[in-house]
Chains A and B, each alone.
Chain A
Amino acid sequence: MILNNIELTNFRLHINTVLNFSDKLNYIVGGNGQGKTTILEAIYYLCTTKNLNQSPDSEALTFNESYFELTGKFKDLTEEKSRLVYSVETNKKTCFINEKQFYKASLIIGKFPVVTLTQSDHSITFGSPADRRKFIDSVISQSSETYLKILLDYNKTLRQRSSLLSLLKESREKSLFDEFDAWTETLIKTGAEIVKHRINFLNEFSEYVKNSFVKIMEGSESPEIEYYFLGDNKTDKVEENFRREIKNRRNDELIRATNLVGPHRDDFVFKISGFELRKYGSQGQHKTFQIALRFGEFFFLKDVLGKTPVFLMDDIFGELDTYRSQKISGYLREVGQAFITMTDFNNIESLHISEKDKIIKVEKGAVAYA
């Protein structure tokens, strides 16, 4: 899938911006606060109807304006037009695909797949287990609606069970315990499905990450993603282990009135050549790992969905040395179309730029092709 053209009206600094893109690499260059990332934000809106930084829609509006409007023309097998209008008065956005209005944001999922590489990816390798789960879940959910559904069911079960645990703190009636056992059973069944999906997914996904890592890093280092559920990584033992552990921790759970066992406490350990990244990794290794994860996600989704995602990269060259930047810009050739923001115009000299690429200069919300 290729994004050919977008139009931004009253979108942050962009009062009226029309851009035609290359189907190869699009470098968006400009100083700080000139409206580079805004272009990525607009593309993200058109692909997902959501804000890239999960901030409110009203914040993306130009000061003193009453609405913003975004239009994007994609080319898949046919031309697909995505349009989104936000109005201050109603504080609502209306979304259209091919000028047909749709009301459920979930309808657009999978239509225009998008992969982003931004500063906030920092948290995937540096942050808490919850950040890693969020990343892994989002990639699996994009490739499997069934997984998303099971995940929602599981989260609901967690809430029901924890509410029951607080009831049990006040009263220890026999009937409440029977009820508790039933919820435990549901937790094990849905939880085990999640774990199995995660194991199968990581077996496949690790290869994608490995391939990407090798492409951007010369040398012998090799990445791994380790995932053990209760000390095991075989799908056939999941339910058995889950059942045993939840039985062992039953008293703990009752005392602390919290769900203590299950995939909601999973962690994924990232390793480089056997060393745990979070403990021993350098800043550069972290960054490389984050980039390899996103490239891995891109190629994984491309294969699974049979559709090339839109690739957005926000200011990644700033932190990398020239050698690695070159490697990445070389690797980007294999991606096809991508959108890359950069602050430093001089930096661009050192990258592999081909004639088909486009360099877009952004200054105070105005654009020019270089």
Chain B
Amino acid sequence: MNIIEPLQIAIEELSKLPTIGRKTAQRLALYILKSDKDSVANLIKAVTDLKEKIKFCSVCFNLSVDDTCEVCKSPKRDKSIICVVEEASDVIAIESTNEYKGLYHVLGGVLSPLSGKGVESLKIAELVLRVNEPDVKEIVLALNPDTEGETTSLYLTRRLKPLNKRITRLPTGLPLGGDLEFTDHATVGRAILNRIEL
């Protein structure tokens, strides 16, 4: 196959993106090639701005334009409660519910020795410092309910327990508004095992 070099390079770069295969990359590259100069410039600017304008909040490590993020700056937020999440994408998920009025703390991953993620590589020391502030009353652990997430929650609970703050976690089990009959068997099975007293 003989593709001219600039096009080839563009295809290679695009196909490095997640969920983009070679064919899609080729289609995207050709589409960009056909677009007018202005829209290409806009695209380039949007991409570079991502890298240049967005940084991590110095308090909670959420995505932010300024040194501290919108959530941390807002006077409307309840400063006594901190919700601990894995990634910034989880903040977006919780924010879109409009049910949570407290602050966040983005760990930047979970404990996973296999992929080289330990306590040092996560923002755990920073979390402990924040929780130590007298204003903070409650910590909500909102990590994914998989093996690594659960273990990280266990670890954090042990680390934070001596600080004498209320520690809560999101419950797992049946989805709200879902049908029991359509929920996958493994989830229903676990929900039965972990049933709660009323």
A residues within 8 Å of B by Cβ?
144-150, 153, 156-157, 159-161, 163-164, 167, 175-176, 178-179, 181-183, 185-186, 189-190, 193
Contact = CB atoms under 8 A, between A and B. Distances in A.
A146 B185 contact: yes
A146 B186 contact: yes
Contacts of B118: 167, 175-176, 179
B158 A153 contact: no
Interface residues of B, number: 24
Given A179-B111, A182-B158, A160 B148 contact: yes
Interface string B160-198: 000000000000000000000000111011100100000
Given A175-B120, A176-B118, A181 B158 contact: yes
A146 B189 contact: yes
Contacts of B152: 182
Nearest to B112: A160
B151 A185 contact: yes
A148 B184 CA distance: 13
Contacts of B113: 160-161, 163-164, 167, 179, 183
Contacts of B111: 160, 179, 182-183
Contacts of B119: 175-176, 178-179
Given A163-B114, A178-B159, A179-B111, A185 B186 contact: no
8 contacts: A157-B151, A161-B113, A167-B113, A175-B118, A175-B120, A176-B118, A179-B155, A186-B151
Contacts of A157: 147, 151
A163 B116 CA distance: 9
A144 B188 CA distance: 11
Nearest to A197: B193
B72 to A, nearest CB: 27
B147 A145 contact: no
Contact of A146 (B112, B147, B193): B193
A161 B147 CA distance: 11
B86 to A, nearest CB: 15
A182 B155 contact: yes
A300 to B, nearest CB: 18
A160 B154 CA distance: 15
A179 B118 CA distance: 8
Given A145-B184, A164-B113, A183 B189 contact: no
B125 to A, nearest CB: 9
A146 B114 CA distance: 25
B114 A160 contact: yes
Given A160-B148, A160-B151, A145 B185 contact: yes
A163 B185 CA distance: 31
A166 to B, nearest CB: 8
A167 to B, nearest CB: 6
Nearest to B156: A182
